[in-house]
Amino acid sequence: MAAQNFAGVLVPVLTPFTAEGEPDARRHAAFCRWLLDEGAAGLAIFGTTSEANSLSPTERMKLLDRLIEAGIPAAKLMPGTGACALTDAADLVRHAVGHGCGGVLMLPPFYYKGVPDDGIFAFISRVIEKVGSPALRMYLYHIPPVAVIGYSLDLVGRFIKAYPQTVVGLKDSSGDWNNTAALLERYPGFAIFPGSEIFLLEGLRHGAAGTITATGNINTGGIRKLYDDWQKPEADALQAEITRMRKVLQGYTVIPALKRVIAHFWRDPGWAAVRPPLMPLDEAQSARLLSDLERIGFRLGARSKAEAA
C-alpha cells in the first residue's frame, strides 16, 4: 500500500459566495489559510459541506486554481472530484493531480440508483485509467445518506486489490459506526476517516487515520486537541466536549448553520450565503442556533490571518 499523505483532522471547507452568487475566491483562500492555522491537517475542499455539487466542474477547477495562486499548499488539499459523468470526474481528478494535490475525495456516480458494484467499479476504474498518473492518491467518499449510492465493504476491497498505490483511503460518512469498524478491521493500513468527530476517539482506538468532518469548519481546534491527546487520560472528556458541540449543530441544516456561525463571529453577513437548492437559516433559527452555542460556551477560534486578508 502507498505511503499516506494525510492523517489528522481534515476539513470539508465551506464555499463562500459573492453577493452575485459566484464562488468567492478571496474569502475562500483566506478561510483555508485560517483553517490550516487552526490546526487542520488537510483541506477536503469540494466536499458535500462545500456545496461542491452545486458548483459546475469549471467553477471547481477555477476555485482550486485560485487557491494555489493564493499560496495554499497543494499537498494539503484533497479536493472532491466526484461527478455523475465519468468524463467530468476524470477532468476534475486530472486537474487536481496536475496541481500536485495530496489526494482527491471521490464520490461514486450518484444519479442512477440500484446500480451494481460492478458498475461503480467500472466507473472509478475508467477514471483512474483515463487520468493514468502514478501521483494520484484517491480517497473513496462513502456518504449514502446523501449520495444514496455508496461503496460496499466488498467493493472497497476490490479497489484496494486492483489499485493498491492509488486507492489509499476512505471517508466514511455513513453515520454507522459498525460500517467504520468493519472497514478498520478488514483493511488495516487503508486510511479510514470517519465523517464525524463523534466517532473520532473510538476510531483512533481502532486504527482510524483521523476524521474529515463538517464541524471542523468552526471547531478545528477542539477536534484537533482530541486527535493530539487521544492517548491521554482526558481523551474521553475531550470527546464528550466535541460531541456536545456537534449535537448542537445537528439540530439545524448543517451547511447553512456553519456559514451562519462564521458570518456571526466574523461580522461578515455575506458569509451566510448558500447556493440553491440550499437555503439560509431564517432569523429565528439563526438566533436559536447562536443561543444554543452560547449556552455550551462555544467560541470561534482566533481570527488570525483571515481577518487581514
Give 96-146 as a DSSP string: HHHTT-S-EEEPPP-SS-S--HHHHHHHHHHHHHHH--TT--EEEEE-HHH
Q: How far is the CB of 253 from a second copy (least distance, A)?
A: 8
> Which region among 82-90, 157-165, 172-180, 204-212 touches a second copy (by CB under 8 A)?
82-90
Binders of a second copy among residues 193 to 222 (CB under 8 A) are none
Determine which residue in the list 13, 61, 72, 149 makes contact with a second copy, applying CB under 8 A: 149
> Which region among 47-55, 150-158, 205-213, 257-265 touches a second copy (by CB under 8 A)?
47-55
Would you say 253 or 304 has its CB closer to a second copy? 253
292 sits near a second copy (criterion: CB under 8 A): no
Determine which residue in the list 17, 46, 123, 187 makes contact with a second copy, applying CB under 8 A: 123
Cross-strand partners of 139: 105, 169
Beta-carbon contacts of 10 under 8 Å, excluding residues fewer than 6 positions away, are 40, 41, 42, 43, 44, 78, 193, 210, 211, 212, 213, 216
| Three cell numbers, residue 210 | 483521523
Determine which residue in the list 88, 172, 197, 241 makes contact with a second copy, applying CB under 8 A: 88
Q: How far is the CB of 49 from a second copy (least distance, A)?
A: 11
Helix runs in the chain, H state only: 25-38, 57-69, 86-98, 117-131, 144-147, 153-162, 177-186, 200-205, 216-229, 235-249, 254-265, 283-295, 304-308
Q: How far is the CB of 148 from a second copy (least distance, A)?
A: 6
300 sits near a second copy (criterion: CB under 8 A): no
Residues forming the site for a second copy (CB under 8 A): 21, 48, 53-59, 83-88, 91, 108-113, 115-116, 118-120, 122-123, 126, 145-149, 275-279
